Structure 1
């Protein structure tokens, strides 16, 4: 196992964590004892300079929200999509932010006067979910959003694997004759349960296509019924892959699709249960009892970023798009 993130509890009293997404930044201030002191959301800018501006403005606004100033902040951690070098804090190919190459840690630290560390957003969320749920031992965080990705945490540390791809289940092909995935393969798990893939397959107007699919399925629409089955099948396949490959004790499901609540969780549990009916071995794993959804609005990603900020990275590269 590659040891990559170990939080340091010493230092100044406040740590800041930012979850930088394509449209907004979720920012939290956390005390040295792990208490959430303040939280706010701000829009994210487009392009490299605008992303740096957005980070600096979010940290400054958060300090004001917490009733303090920048001098009280020990560290800033940032979770961001793209290819992240956790040692240098450089971000590559964060396409949803208009970032090709950005030395985010150095540029933000220079303006804030505070140490800044950067991590891939899903891996930061995994760390935060483990901490917030009080999970010891091993767990996986399965992010079901526009795409599908996962991070693995063992004994409070991110497990990257030898090249940083541990937990990359979204691009595991489970149907070679299935839909074409953006990665070039067919039938990847992401093509079954990624929100973007489902929206394209649904191909009807609406602001929340996956919710529309579930509503239409409940009304008996045959196309929606098939896509709903795909959603549950794909998510169940991701859970099985994570448990069978890494033997994690828990799989915490997060990401935008968790807004579906019980409809998602119950469907995934049913798919796991159905998939184990013919296999005593699979039944022995009790997969349907090893999953849980993060509560709606959980600050796990930003909280995990705060832990990253207070950590010492020892592995050079993290790969995830």
Structure 2
């Protein structure tokens, strides 16, 4: 029997913690609200791990290690610029390693979600992109069975790719970025109604508002374009759609595939790539990022 592994997904509003046992069996899961700020993040992680290990009937010191996914730039266990958590810089791995006395690995949240997606897809695909379509837009990448971060940790930041130089200026100050079209924050920015959320834009689109319908069409086109970028540059076997906007489920999946079919009808080369068939939705309700965090630095098979 191998030692259990603990995974923690720290997001802007919640902490999701799991304990994995033999054959990656889910022994326990605990979700709770996160407290912002450096001390709040540390306290939230400790509380979540204390509860999930109690539920699994183990001590944290029984674990082979703890993996943590968190927003922001992560290098050497140090988190920087996790703005939605009010964390500017935090040596999270060192702090938690000292408290728990077990190995602690910290990674960007989209990267651990990619790792979780790869494991959930089983032994078929060797290369997977997890496309997070939420408040922002970014991809986590597994290439030939390895998490790919890039030379400076920016691999998968495709939200900054401009697809229309005459398009709306995004939060990064550049016009027509993918994130402006295919993210909740970008949709709200285009909508321009103070205090609105992405769900309000989508509700207005369903009610027949022409501008909201245009923004929704831009969402489908943006997601399809993100898939096209990932397939043409990396030829990944699968692109798993995750994040808050995948609450649309098959409306989003079918909309992106419809755009892709239009491209394929015009281009035999694109038609030969079968891009639409490579897209899958993240399993609803699965703790994908927490599972990926638990599997950090562990090779499958």
TM-score, normalised to structure 1, is 0.88
CA distance in 1, matches of 2:288, 2:111: 11
Which residue does 1:181 correspond to in 2?
A: 170
1:279 positional shift: 1.0
Q: Secondary structure at the match of 1:308?
A: coil
1:220 positional shift: 2.2
Change (3 A) 1:239 1:76: same
Query: Once structures 1 and 2 are overlaid, which stretch shifts more, 198-207 or 168-177?
Result: 198-207
- For structure 1, the 5+ residue unaligned runs are 1-10, 312-321
Q: Among 52, 58, 65, which residue is 1:62 paired with?
A: 52
Q: Among 145, 148, 152, which residue is 1:163 paired with?
A: 152
Q: Among 131, 139, 142, which residue is 1:153 paired with?
A: 142
Q: Among 110, 119, 123, which residue is 2:107 paired with?
A: 119
CA RMSD of aligned residues (A): 1.7
Q: Among 31, 49, 62, which residue is 1:72 paired with?
A: 62
1:157 positional shift: 1.2
Q: Among 189, 193, 199, which residue is 1:211 paired with?
A: 199
CA distance in 1, matches of 2:22, 2:195: 43
Q: Establish whether residue 143 from structure 1 lines up as the match of residue 141 from structure 2.
A: no
Q: Among 26, 45, 56, which residue is 2:16 paired with?
A: 26
Equivalences for residues 246-261 of structure 1 within 5 A = 246-261=234-249
Q: Establish whether residue 299 from structure 1 lines up as the match of residue 287 from structure 2.
A: yes
Equivalences for residues 199-278 of structure 1 within 5 A = 199-204=188-193, 209-278=197-266
CA distance in 2, matches of 1:266, 1:146: 21
1:73 positional shift: 1.5
CA distance in 2, matches of 1:114, 1:259: 36
CA distance in 1, matches of 2:120, 2:195: 34
CA contact (8 A) 1:12 1:73 kept: no
Query: Once structures 1 and 2 are overlaid, which stretch shifts more, 131-140 or 119-128?
Result: 131-140
Q: Establish whether residue 92 from structure 1 lines up as the match of residue 80 from structure 2.
A: yes
Q: Establish whether residue 190 from structure 1 lines up as the match of residue 179 from structure 2.
A: yes
Q: What are the superposed Cα offsets for residues 233-254 of structure 1, whole Å, 9 maximum, x if unpaired?
A: 1101100000001111111111
TM-score, normalised to structure 2, is 0.94
CA distance in 1, matches of 2:290, 2:56: 16
1:222 positional shift: 0.5
CA distance in 2, matches of 1:140, 1:267: 19
Q: Secondary structure at the match of 1:276?
A: helix
CA contact (8 A) 1:117 1:308 kept: yes
**Paired residue total:** 298
Q: Establish whether residue 15 from structure 1 lines up as the match of residue 11 from structure 2.
A: no
CA distance in 2, matches of 1:228, 1:182: 19
- For structure 2, the 5+ residue unaligned runs are none
